[in-house]
Amino acid sequence: MLAESIGVRCLGKTEQHVVDIVEAKAVAAWGEAHAIAETVHRFRPPPDGSVPALVLGGDADMFLPASAFDETAEFWRAEKHILKGGPHALMGDSRYWRSSAEIILEWLTRLQSSSSDR
């Protein structure tokens, strides 16, 4: 069965029932992501790029396309890092949390250094 092949146990439900549930959850998540994006884009970054920002994502994100990271980084004039194979929840993933944290720490350290140089 499809559901079991992707690691979902049906627990007495039909495969179509499981597919319907997964699709409904995906639609809800997409709606939430869209609402968040609209809220964020109501704010405008200063035209001089004086607000430091970091965009960190994974190229295996099942919720956000790569273009979302590109657009966000461009909008906020942010540094962007994309982790190869990285999922949507990088910091919660046992394989990616450390590399994500290292990128964030390196960025914060450079940010602190550049602000102390001023």
pLDDT of 80: 97
Q: Is 9 left (phi over 0), alpha (psi -120 to 50) or beta?
A: beta
Half-sphere exposure of 83 (CA within 13 A, CB side): 23
How many angstroms separate the CA atoms of 98 and 54, rounded? Answer: 16
Per-residue pLDDT of the chain (118 residues; tens, 9 = 90+): 444 544 555 555 666 766 666 677 766 766 777 677 777 667 777 777 778 999 999 999 999 998 999 998 988 899 999 999 999 999 999 999 999 999 999 999 998 888 776 6
Question: Is residue 82 a contact partner of residue 58, using CB atoms and an 8 Å limit?
Answer: yes
pLDDT at 15: 66
